[in-house]
A and B are shown apart, each in its own frame.
Chain A
Amino acid sequence: MHDAARKRSLRKLRENAAQCVIYSAVMLVSAVFIWLLIDLLRGGLSHLSWEFITELPRDAGRAGGIASILVSTLLILLVAVLTAVPVAWMTAILLAEFVATGSWFGKAVRFSLYVLAGVPSIVFGLFGNAFFCVYLGLGFSILSGGLTLACMLLPILASTAEAGLRAVPHIYRLTASALGLSRAAALLHLILPAAAPVMAAGLLLGIGRALAETAVLLFTSGYAERMPDSLLDSGRALALHIFDLSMNVPGGDEPAYASALVLVSLLLCINILAMKFAYGLQRSKLMP
């Protein structure tokens, strides 16, 4: 009897200790991040205005706005996501649903994803420069930048999507097959919607990486800050603009902070939209 009471109090202690540790960790994390965000706001808010978003940059970015840079950034992102998403998700579906874990093809593909995840981003930049810009003759262009970024996004998108698909309970597949659904139908109507939130989370991670990327784009999409006319024009990405302003242009701190704010808000919008979409899809498919 006495022993049981001691065990219970010990368990209670452990329970409380765990809660304490988790709460303090979360508090620490939020404090640091809020500190960072406040610094960003304080640094950039005074420089931020409607004109900053709609005007072209002047005087190496110290004056004027970032309109052309925003357009370039979005185009690069569009190219990268449109290219990487189908390839990555097809790979993930193949790995999770169609290929036995031990098969040589599955192993080879998974291995190549590991390798790609391990390539430092600056090496992607050099590769993109050599392959897309020079070998394929695309030159410094939004297209080269986007395609190089797509290579970089592949492992992120594929591995998160595969994890999401594998997490779908096996009973779904068994039920679908018992009901006589084809595998494709089960995939489309059951498994993909169930995995959608995880896949969307992966997509967000990928978009975050793509928007933040500097080294890759320096060597592929280039440095030109004018408004792009086509996908074959060179265009400077927002992150590269921030890097240039903070490291290379004396007196560029304020527009750098302001550009960072724009970038972060852009990401927030994409985040919210993607999450809404993912949950909406799951609900409409699974609970009609």
Chain B
Amino acid sequence: MQEILRCLVVNSFCFVLAMGYAAQLGAQTKNTSQRLVVTGSSTIAPLVNEIARRFESTHPEMRIDVQTGGSSRGITEVRQGIAAIGMVSRALKSDERNLHAFTIAQDGIGVIVHASNPVTGFSRQQIADIYTGKITRWKVLGGADERITVIHKAEGRSTLELFVDYIQRRNSEIKPHVIIGDNAQGIKAVTGNPHAIGYVSIGAAEFEIRRGLPLRLLPLDGIAASVEAVRQGIFPLSRPLNLVTLGEPQGLALEFIEFARSPQVHDLVEAQYFIPVNAD
């Protein structure tokens, strides 16, 4: 009986010991092994994860930890020194000039509707009117006599900032019906609702269309939304996918960034439906 009780006591305090021991170990590994923490945009994270795996296979002594949580988290943690490299899915803002950005890929943002929607395209003004609630029915645009369901992103997403810039409105003017987080959720929301309109990463939308989901990308300013148009640089809504560092990258971080920009990873970039950039 006493043994069992002793067991209970030992158990309950083992986590305190484990914590101390682990803290010590953590401090050790930080100094000795080569570990690189990359964190930030959820759009870029799957790609960088794949790049990191390939990098590790050629540099077996190194470890790249990829974390996610959004572009702002990437910037915050790079500034705090928690992460060596941040992932940011937009160009740096004016108050972020102290960071160094390295573009590893390009991504376009396209407006999507359900495949059964007869509307073939509209002007920038019309998109703005839909999103600000001036146009509320598809009939006005040549579609069915149904209410438009406006799908918008949550505040702080870089996709949203780009889109709102494009239609030249402030976010508070927009009257959305559904607000989503990530790309795949936006695609699910539009495929599940024939009267919805949303905007997502073009690569993701093209991939899902090829898989046969009832989805259609609409042209913007008369330019068809496609990965090809983004590659040529003529599509009006595109963004760079960046790796950022605080100060000039050195050592392992520099090596990894160079690797991520080299042609060796172009197939990985394309496999995630982004557009590779040439590092020159």
A222→B49 contact, CB < 8 A: no
The reply to whether B25 and A232 form a contact with Cβ atoms under 8 Å apart is: yes
Instruction: Report, as a range, how many residues of chain B touch the other chain.
Output: 35 or more
Residues of A within 8 A of B98 (CB): none
Cβ–Cβ contact B50 & A137, under 8 A: no
Given known A-B contacts A137-B27, A218-B69, A251 and B208 have beta carbons under 8 A apart: yes
Given known A-B contacts A137-B23, A223-B68, A232-B25, A82 and B11 have beta carbons under 8 A apart:
yes
Which B263-280 residues sit within 8 Å CB-CB of chain A?
A: 271-273
Q: Which of A60, A86, A90, A188 contacts B46 (CB 8 A)?
A: A60
Give every chain B residue within 8 A of A269 (Cβ-Cβ): none
- Is B182 an interface position by the 8 A CB rule? yes
Q: Nearest chain-A residue to B188 (Cβ)?
A: A246
Q: Which residues of A contact B49 (CB under 8 A)?
A: 60, 223-225
Q: Is the CB of B27 within 8 A of A150?
A: no
Question: Are A247 and B69 within 8 A (Cβ)?
Answer: no
- Which residue of B11, B183, B211 contacts A248 across the interface (Cβ within 8 Å)? B183
Beta-carbon contacts under 8 Å, B94-141 to A: none
Residue B273 contacts which of A87, A224, A250 (CB distance < 8 angstroms)? Answer: A250
B46 close to A219 (CB less than 8 A): no
Using A82-B11, A218-B68, A248-B46 as known contacts, say yes or no to A138 and B26 having CB atoms under 8 A apart.
Answer: yes
Digitize B36-75: 1 where CB-to-A-CB distance is under 8 Å, 0 elsewhere: 0100001101110110010010000000011111000000
B residues within 8 A CB of A136?
19, 22-23, 26
- In the complex, are the beta carbons of A138 and B181 less than 8 A apart? no
Name B204's contact: one of A219, A222, A250 (CB within 8 Å): A250
Interface string of B3-40 (1 = CB under 8 A from A): 01100100110110011001101110110000001000
Smallest beta-carbon distance A2→chain B, Å: 61
The verdict on B168 contacting chain A, using a C-beta distance below 8 Å, is no
Query: Counting CB contacts under 8 A, is B187 at the interface?
Result: yes
| Inter-subunit contact B1/A222 (CB<8 Å) | no
Residue interface mask A129-164, B partner, CB < 8 A = 1: 000001011111101000100100000000000000
Q: How far is the CB of B20 from chain A (nearest CB, A)?
A: 9
B166 part of interface (Cβ distance < 8 Å):
no
B1→A60 contact, CB < 8 A: no
- In the assembly, what is the distance between CA of A69 and CA of B68, in Å? 16
Contacts of B27 on A, CB cut-off 8 Å?
A: 137
- Residues from chain A with a CB closer than 8 A to the CB of B26 are 136-139, 141, 232
Contact A247:B1 (CB < 8 A) given known A59-B50, A86-B12: no
Q: Is there an interface contact between B68 and A185, defined as CB atoms closer than 8 Å?
A: no
Within A71-109, which residues are at the interface with B (CB < 8 Å)?
82-83, 86-87, 90
Interface-central residue, B12, B183, B185, B204, by most chain A CB under 10 Å = B12
Mask for A102-119, Cβ within 8 A of B = 1, else 0?
A: 000000000000000000
- A250 touching B183, Cβ below 8 Å: yes
B178 — which chain A residues lie within 8 A by C-beta?
none
Residues of B within 8 A of A282 (CB): none
Partner of B82, one of A86, A134, A251: A134
In whole angstroms, what is the CA distance A222 to B4 when docked? 36
Complex contact B182–A248 (CB within 8 A): yes
A123 to B49, CA, bound (A): 26
Which residues of chain A are near B183, meaning CB under 8 Å? 248, 250
Q: Mark A243-266, 1 if CB is under 8 A from B, else 0.
A: 010111111100000000000000
The answer on a CB contact under 8 Å between A250 and B67 is: no
What sequence of 0s and 1s flags, for each residue 219-246 of chain A, a beta carbon within 8 Å of any chain B beta carbon?
1001111100001101000000000101
If A184-B1, A251-B207 touch, whether A86 touches B184 (CB-CB below 8 Å) is no
Extra contacts besides A82-B15, A86-B12, A223-B49 (5): CB < 8 Å: A218-B68, A222-B67, A247-B181, A247-B182, A250-B184
8 closest A-B pairs by CB: A60-B46, A86-B12, A250-B204, A83-B15, A86-B11, A247-B182, A250-B207, A223-B68
Name 10 A/B residue pairs within 8 A (Cβ), A-sorted. A59-B50, A86-B12, A139-B37, A140-B37, A218-B68, A223-B49, A231-B22, A232-B26, A250-B207, A251-B211
